[in-house]
């Protein structure tokens, strides 16, 4: 069962990995940890058909741990995060939650579900999740009774009110846009927010449906953007798409699909135009262009992949912004420092209203050629050993291969004169993740060929 306890969250197949007994125990032992910080926890869920059932099991476990559950119902994940930074009236009291648990399978297939967890305003991840898994397994014979009592809160209404107030200057703005919520949970927040601000949009698949009948809710895959692109061909200038739980965004013009790292660069440019010297945290998969351009007016920091890693460093450094290529955007500037695709959309709309030309700014950037993530199958037992073997090979041939730098923050990012290659072990699946970027197609192919050859050598060495 330990495979469901992953680096950044808990995730598995409903009914197989996520059973009633196991989920109740997860709720109980999580509840014990939350109880160390306070009495209240917020529970909410995404659009998946089994999320309400998981909610009942989880709440039973939390109640057994004597945690008082504030239930927000179906909301995007950022609304659950939002609750941790706000207070709610419970009877005569005003309380701030000590933790939050969002039941979500994110962008995974419909049979998957899981839990994203916050305790004391910080992500619960890594070793803490692994230890929780061992605790659950060690107490597998423990029986938790059904007890689904909770206190309903209007977290969604509070969230929409907050964003409507924060972006009141956008009222009546018409950017000629389309939005695709992918039948995920984002629609329950996006629709009322746009209506409040009288921002027109062509809306695709905003009705929550956990079977995802139109397309898979992962906007980082081009095939899932086809309907949005068709809507834009019929007169829309811009398009926004959200993943299943609303914490990742895709933003498109008619000419470009702006990935998370390029969006981070543009957000930094907008901050710099206001007289700030922005500090931006990126992950090891981000384009070198992002780092180089941000360093001209501010400071760019390279860090490990993973939304939990970035949130923690954002808090530690007080940086303005963090981003992943996949579309997780974390605003500490004017916001709470967690990944929120709906908030990111509003910041983009604000920039459009202020005259920021995304296409023109993109075309000014140094031209590079890059691959998407390329997955190399291996095993959980070997993946980290292969990366370690690769690091040794690279160090021994650094001069012969013309390597300028080797970055080992997360896996290994090898920087050559004409580009770079990344190899890292996935924290959640038995694969190596590679990505390559260069100044020309020919250089891209050279770097890719060299790195793939070295990966094969490392695999042979590990056996």
State residue 428's pLDDT score: 73
**Residue that wins the pLDDT comparison between 420 and 429:** 420
* Alpha-carbon dihedral angle through residues 382, 384, 389, 395, given to the nearest 10 degrees: 170
DSSP for 149-190 reads: --EE--HHHHHHHHHHHHTGGGTT----EEEE-TTSSTHHHH
233-251 b/e (C-beta count within 10 Å ≥ 16 → b):
eeebebbbbbbbbbbbbbb
- Catalytic pick from 44, 55, 60, 106? 106
Contacts 24+ apart (CB under 8 A), 164-168: 164/193, 164/196, 164/197, 166/334, 166/346, 167/197, 167/346, 167/349, 167/350, 168/197
State residue 427's pLDDT score: 78
Token reading at 249: 């965004």
3-class secondary structure, 266: helix
State residue 267's pLDDT score: 98
Are the CB atoms for 160 and 193 separated by under 8 Å?
yes
Q: Give the model's confidence band at 124: pLDDT under 50 very low, under 70 low, under 90 confident, else very high.
A: very high
All domains of the chain in start order, with CATH: 2-153 (3.40.120.10), 158-364 (3.40.120.10), 369-462 (3.30.310.50)
State residue 342's pLDDT score: 98
* Alpha-carbon dihedral angle through residues 73, 78, 84, 87, given to the nearest 10 degrees: -70
Instruction: Establish whether 11 is a catalytic residue.
Output: yes
Instruction: Establish whether 328 is a catalytic residue.
Output: yes
State residue 7's pLDDT score: 85
State residue 108's pLDDT score: 87
Average pLDDT score over residue span 407-414: 96
Q: What is the pTM of this model?
A: 0.95
| pLDDT averaged over every residue in the chain | 96
pLDDT at 413 over 80: yes
Average pLDDT score over residue span 46-55: 97
pLDDT digit string (tens) for 245-278?
999 999 999 999 999 999 999 999 999 999 999 9
Phi, psi of 80 (to 5 degrees): -65, -45
State residue 372's pLDDT score: 87
Are the CB atoms for 190 and 179 separated by under 8 Å?
yes
pLDDT at 242 over 90: yes
**Residue that wins the pLDDT comparison between 193 and 106:** 193
pLDDT at 75 over 80: yes
State residue 328's pLDDT score: 97
Which H helix or E strand runs over 323?
Answer: strand 321-323
Q: Give the model's confidence band at 107: pLDDT under 50 very low, under 70 low, under 90 confident, else very high.
A: confident
pLDDT digit string (tens) for 329-345?
999 999 999 999 999 99
Q: Which letter does DSSP use for residue 67 in this model?
A: P
pLDDT digit string (tens) for 276-317?
999 999 999 999 999 999 999 999 999 999 899 999 999 999
State residue 132's pLDDT score: 97
- Catalytic pick from 107, 307, 328, 347? 328
State residue 463's pLDDT score: 86
Q: Taking CA 28 as the corner, what is the angle to CA 27 and CA 34, rounded to the nearest 5 degrees?
A: 85
Q: Give the model's confidence band at 446: pLDDT under 50 very low, under 70 low, under 90 confident, else very high.
A: very high
Rounded Cα distance, 212 and 40, in Å = 33
Token reading at 88: 């709610």
Are the CB atoms for 262 and 252 separated by under 8 Å?
no
Q: Give the model's confidence band at 403: pLDDT under 50 very low, under 70 low, under 90 confident, else very high.
A: very high
pLDDT digit string (tens) for 17-33?
999 999 999 999 999 99
Q: Give the model's confidence band at 44: pLDDT under 50 very low, under 70 low, under 90 confident, else very high.
A: very high
Are the CB atoms for 186 and 342 separated by under 8 Å?
yes
């Amino acid at each position: 069962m330990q495979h469901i306890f992953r680096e950044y969250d808990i995730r598995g197949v409903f009914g197989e990995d996520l059973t009633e007994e196991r989920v109740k125990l997860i709720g109980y032992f999580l509840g014990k940890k939350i109880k160390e910080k306070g009495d209240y926890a917020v529970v909410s869920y995404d659009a998946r058909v089994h999320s309400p059932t998981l909610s009942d099991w989880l709440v039973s476990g939390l109640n057994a741990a004597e945690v008082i559950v504030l239930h927000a119902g179906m909301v995007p994940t950022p609304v659950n995060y939002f609750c941790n930074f706000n207070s709610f009236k419970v009877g005569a009291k005003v309380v701030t939650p000590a933790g939050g648990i969002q039941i979500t399978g994110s962008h995974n297939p419909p049979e998957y579900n899981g839990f994203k967890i916050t305790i004391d305003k910080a992500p619960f991840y890594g070793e803490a999740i692994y230890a929780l898994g061992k605790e659950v397994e060690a107490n597998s014979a423990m029986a938790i009774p059904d007890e689904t009592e909770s206190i309903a809160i209007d977290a969604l209404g509070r969230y929409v009110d907050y964003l409507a107030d924060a972006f009141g200057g956008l009222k009546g703005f018409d950017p000629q846009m389309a939005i695709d919520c992918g039948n995920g949970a984002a629609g329950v927040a996006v629709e009322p927010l746009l209506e409040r601000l009288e921002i027109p949009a062509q809306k695709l698949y905003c009705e929550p449906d956990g079977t995802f009948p139109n397309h898979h809710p992962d906007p980082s895959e081009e095939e899932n953007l086809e309907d949005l692109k068709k809507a834009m061909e019929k007169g829309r200038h811009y398009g926004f798409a959200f993943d299943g739980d609303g914490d990742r965004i895709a933003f498109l013009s008619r000419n470009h699909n702006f990935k998370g790292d390029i969006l981070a660069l543009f957000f930094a440019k907008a901050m710099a135009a206001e007289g700030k010297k922005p500090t931006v945290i990126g992950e090891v998969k981000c384009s070198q262009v992002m780092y180089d351009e941000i360093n001209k007016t501010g400071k760019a920091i390279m860090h490990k992949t993973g939304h939990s890693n970035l949130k923690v460093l954002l808090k530690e450094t007080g940086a303005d912004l963090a981003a992943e290529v996949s579309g997780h955007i974390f605003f500490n500037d004017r916001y709470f420092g967690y990944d929120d695709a709906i908030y990111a959309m509003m910041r983009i709309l604000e920039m459009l209203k202020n005259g920021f030309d995304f296409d023109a700014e993109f075309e000014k950037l140094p031209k590079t050629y890059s691959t998407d993530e390329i997955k190399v199958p291996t095993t959980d037992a070997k993946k980290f050993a292969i990366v370690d073997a690769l690091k040794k090979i690279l160090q021994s041939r650094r001069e012969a291969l013309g390597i300028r730098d080797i970055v080992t923050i997360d896996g290994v990012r090898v920087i050559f004169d004409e580009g770079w290659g990344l190899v890292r072990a996935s924290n959640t699946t038995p694969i190596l993740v590679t990505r390559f970027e260069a100044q020309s197609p020919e250089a891209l192919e050279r770097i890719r060929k060299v790195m793939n050859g070295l990966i094969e050598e490392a695999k042979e060495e590990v056996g």
